[in-house]
A and B are shown apart, each in its own frame.
Chain A
Amino acid sequence: MAEKTRKSAKILVFSTEKISDPAIDMAGLLKLHYPPTVYTITVPCSSGIKSRWILHAYEKGFDGVFIAADGSDCVFGESCTEKTGELVGRTMELMKQKGIEPARLKMAAICSVCSESFVKQVKSFNEYLLKTSNS
């Protein structure tokens, strides 16, 4: 977990090429600031993220992982929301088994114009992660 002196937690965001990545880009365009320790890896679809990648991130020192999910806008079909939810559920179970607090994994649907929502979500996640690491 993050050291107590850190101002911001280290968060890995899995975003999606067609939906949430444009929203994150637009957050920058609008100069909506969020902690610079939020890093993004882009994938085609949020329902294609492997649990092992998420667990690898914790193992390597990330405080939190945020899945910026396609939600109902997914270009690959309506089942994305359900499947992303399932993979998050499975990963949380694995996190419990490894003694990692499941709340360090967060998912929210971020549409292609949901810049403000993205910034709000990562800021509150950052605050949560800092609070829990300091308690």
Chain B
Amino acid sequence: MEKKIGVYVCHCGGNISDYVDVEKVRQAIEDEGGVMLAKTTMFACSDSNQKDMVDDIKKNDLNGVVVASCSPKLHLTTFGNVSERAGLNKYNYVHANIREQVSWAHSDDKAGATEKAIHIVRAAIAKARFTESLEPNKIEAQKAVAIIGSGVAGMKAAIELSNMDCPVYIIEREFFIGGRVSQWGAMFTTNETGKEVVTRLYNDMIRRPNVTVFTGAEVITNVGSIGDFKLKVKITPRYVKEKCDRGKLQQAIDACPVVVPDEFNFNITSRKAIYHNFPSEYPQAAVIDMKSCTRCGKCESICDNIDFSQKEEILDIHVGSVLMATGFDPYTPHDGEFGYNEFANVVTLPQFKRMIELNENKLMHQGKEVKNIAYIYCVGSRQEEGGNTYCSRYCCTSAIHASLLVKKKYPSVYNYHFNRGIRTYGKQESLYYDSSAQGDIYLQAYEDALPVVTWNGSNSIVKINDILTGGREMEVEADLVVLVTGMVPRAENSVGTLFKLPKGRDKFFNEIHMKLRPVETFIDGVTIAGACQGPKNIMESVNSALSAATKSFSYVSKGELETEPIVAVIDPVLCTWCDACSKACPFDAISMTKDGTKSIALINNSVCKGCGMCLPVCPTDAIELIAYSNNEIESMIDALAHD
């Protein structure tokens, strides 16, 4: 079909026309092939111009539109919508950026800027000659959501989805739900304990018939895409029957000869191979850690409900969306970092919080009562390039809250905070005030002169040049050094790889846009919530969980989905199925199919993300990307090269 293109060159007030002769641009392109009308406009994005464009498109039956104005990031969607309002498919609209990349970039060279603008508008017209109307791909959506992780974010998302009448499967790798929060005692601001929060969420979640919880469960394969994820979930047995005589069970635990470090208490205590995390955990059923169990048979001989005949199960789960809420790990300092694993009295903040929880009347560490506590902040956070450059934000609040708790519980303790600037943002600032009011001492350093920890034979000495007292050298003899560690991505995060979730520079899962699309990922249908996305406190995790639940529900609620039509296409004549495209595709969107007797590549449109990674590897040039075809790109190059 012959192209009839309308071109609008914007003044943007004076932002463009102060440096680019827009009338000269208009005159230069008005006779280009396919151009039916060419206008200048003071503000292309104004309501009046949009209305004029709609009228022009209808009146002249335009089938291509170019607006030369600001960055497409600002108004590509605006003018695409204008086209749609005029009855023209939005994929026939082409945007030319003559503000950020012309008038502003070359405000020192008006003639050069005008010449460049002419070339750029010509290139947009050249592309517009090849545009086609495209329709979104429509696919069926399974009305169910899988949530990976049953921490606070996962459980809150499950409750929200359940409220929207959406079936939910929670897949938890651990044998107990609750995630990191279950490891915490009293928390700011209500002093509610982590266990209480977890209990409240669990009790709400578990009574719902449309929520199914799997523990000891792991996604092992994922086939499909948005609307149609087919997951295989491996369920590892507990080897203990759920309904069990708790008295005999406790005897069996006591009889177990295997003693291993207890990860729940960050290895400051030990547990048996058959164990609970804590008395009110969920589900309230013990488990046997088969990696440590020696199969000595002592527990079996005491308790009838030990059942080593339980077998691993593989379940098939079919969902339309996956919500990732896999949480975080606390940063583990390397050996020698501020004396960690070098001096006996250096612990991390998570270990310290468990110590507060486990010590009743006196704060004891390795048989010695603790009086002086030195907190060293920003350990594993705000590091130099190459390390964790980000701030975990929660740790200042958490450490100060812990110091308040410790003082309340053990009044004879003294707290010394070696910090790099306190970040108790928002309402949490009141904690900082309370801590100062109770007599805690704050000493501060810059990143280039961090505190130094040495050992005097019985205690640690923490030394600092305190910038709050003009750089005076200060030191504290500490019975306990608490390294205030931040959050890092889960060390075992292979489920992210399984779903091909992109990660950011900080290695947490990455959202599409931090501000505007904060819970969506580039993998359509997969949303992220909680601290798997980056450091968050509970309130922030719950906010993101509610947002992710709503987004995931929006994918599956209608039973049908639309996806972007910008995908790769195969030329069946040129394709010889060498497999190079399939290997290059990071999303497994390409498979082999038969075209008669010939093997050729097949693109799964609902999986293809339109990245184009398959294009350059094809030896016969049999793949094109819609909207970035050879014709479109090379005609743009021709227009830009034209003198």
A→B interface (CB under 8 Å): 10, 12, 21-22, 24-29, 31-37, 39-45, 47-53, 56-57, 60-62, 72-80, 83, 87, 90
Partner of A56, one of B512, B586, B634: B634
Partner of B615, one of A40, A50, A78, A80: A50
Checking A10, A25, A39 against B73 with a beta-carbon cut-off of 8 angstroms, the contacting residue is A25
On B, residues with C-beta under 8 Å from A are 71-73, 97, 99-109, 112-113, 115-116, 119-120, 123, 500, 502-505, 510, 512, 522, 566, 584, 586, 609-617, 621, 625, 628, 630, 633-634, 636-638, 640-641, 643
Q: How far is the CB of B303 from chain A (nearest CB, A)?
A: 48
Q: Report which of B105, B109, B120 forms a contact with A28, defined as CB distance below 8 A.
A: B105
How many angstroms from the CA of A21 to the CA of B556 in the assembled complex? 33
**A50–B105 contact, CB under 8 A?**
no
Known A76-B502, A76-B586; judge A32-B105 contact (CB<8 A).
yes
Check A43/B628 contact, CB under 8 A, given A29-B104, A31-B107, A52-B621. yes
B73 x A77 contact (CB < 8 A): no
Is B613 a contact partner of A47 (Cβ separation < 8 A)?
yes
Check A48/B522 contact, CB under 8 A, given A28-B99, A28-B105.
no
Q: Which residue of B lies closest to A62 (CB)?
A: B641
Task: Report yes or no: B613 in contact with A45, Cβ–Cβ below 8 A.
Answer: yes
State the 6 A-B residue pairs at the shortest beta-carbon distance, nearest first. A48-B612, A36-B112, A60-B641, A28-B100, A28-B104, A28-B105
Q: List 20 A-B contacts (CB under 8 A).
A: A25-B73, A29-B100, A31-B105, A31-B107, A33-B109, A36-B102, A36-B115, A40-B97, A41-B640, A42-B72, A48-B625, A49-B615, A52-B621, A53-B634, A53-B637, A62-B641, A73-B504, A75-B510, A78-B502, A78-B503
A75 to B587, CA, bound (A): 12
Closest to B632 in A: A41
- Tell me which residues across on chain A come within 8 A of B636, comparing CB atoms: 41
By beta carbon, the residue of chain B nearest A83 is B613
Tell whether, in the assembled complex, residue A76 and residue B611 are in contact, meaning their CB atoms are under 8 Å apart: yes
Contact A76 B609 (CB under 8 A): yes
| A75-B640 CB under 8 A given contacts A28-B105, A32-B105, A43-B628 | no
A48 touches B611 (CB 8 A): yes
Q: Is the CB of B611 within 8 A of A50?
A: no
- A-chain residues with CB within 8 Å of residue B616 when the two chains form the complex: 47-51, 83, 87, 90
Q: Indicate whether A50 sits within 8 Å of B630 (C-beta atoms), given known contacts A33-B108, A57-B641.
A: yes
**Residues of A with C-beta under 8 A to B123:** 39, 41
- Cβ of A26 to closest chain B Cβ, rounded Å: 8
Q: Whole-angstrom distance from the CB of A125 to the nearest CB of chain B? A: 16
Interchain CB contact under 8 A, B522 and A75: yes
In the bound complex, CA of A31 to CA of B505 (Å) = 28
Answer whether A73 and B505 are a contact pair too, CB < 8 Å, given A12-B637, A28-B101. Answer: yes
Residues of A within 8 A of B113 (CB): 36
Q: Give chain A residues whose Cβ lies under 8 Å from the Cβ of B628.
A: 43-44, 48
Q: Which residues of A contact B119 (CB under 8 A)?
A: 39
Whether A25 lies near B97 (C-beta < 8 A) is yes
Which B residues are CB-close (under 8 A) to A62?
637, 640-641
Instruction: Give, as a whole number of angstroms, the nearest-CB distance from A37 to chain B.
Output: 7
Task: Tell me the bound Cα distance from A48 to B109 in angstroms.
Answer: 33
User: Does B621 lie within 8 Å of A44, measured CB to CB?
Assistant: no
Least CB distance from A104 to B in Å reads 14
**Are A10 and B505 closer than 8 Å at their CB atoms?**
no
Question: In the complex, how many angstroms separate the beta carbon of B158 from the nearest chain A beta carbon?
Answer: 28
Q: Is the CB of B612 within 8 A of A53?
A: no
Max chain B Cβ within 10 angstroms of own Cβ: one of A10, A53, A87: A53
